[in-house]
Amino acid sequence: MVGRGAGAVVRVRQWKNMAAPTLTARLYSLLFRKTSTFALTIAVGALFFERAFDQGADAIYEHMNQGTECQGQTPAGIKDGIKAMMECGESVGWELPR
């Protein structure tokens, strides 16, 4: 109790009856309230999303090509990829212009 009288008791009881802030309220006050922290949150989130997406796509690619002769070869471009497929003996269905 801060002071004397019935008012101090009421204030303390009101504080005890208040619910704890929810997770979303805490996130809002911590990350999204100021523009600078909001922008930083978006930038860091984009970096983490990009890394997770890239690793997921690589894992799917490796799983789909598991057991092939060219496993582990990732083409740098379309022409390089077609040349790599031809070198590994895979058919591409059409000839490259020479």
Long-range contacts of range 14-19, CB-CB < 8 Å, 24 or more positions apart? none
Owner of token pair 């590994």: 88
Distance of alpha carbon 45 from alpha carbon 48, whole angstroms: 5
| Global confidence as pTM | 0.47
Per-residue pLDDT of the chain (98 residues; tens, 9 = 90+): 555 655 555 555 555 666 678 888 888 888 888 999 999 999 999 999 999 999 999 999 888 888 776 655 555 555 666 666 666 655 556 565 55
Residue spans of the domains in the chain: they are 1-30, 34-89
Report yes or no: 91 and 68 within 8 Å, Cβ to Cβ: no
Q: What confidence score (pLDDT) does residue 8 get? A: 55
Report yes or no: 73 and 85 within 8 Å, Cβ to Cβ: no
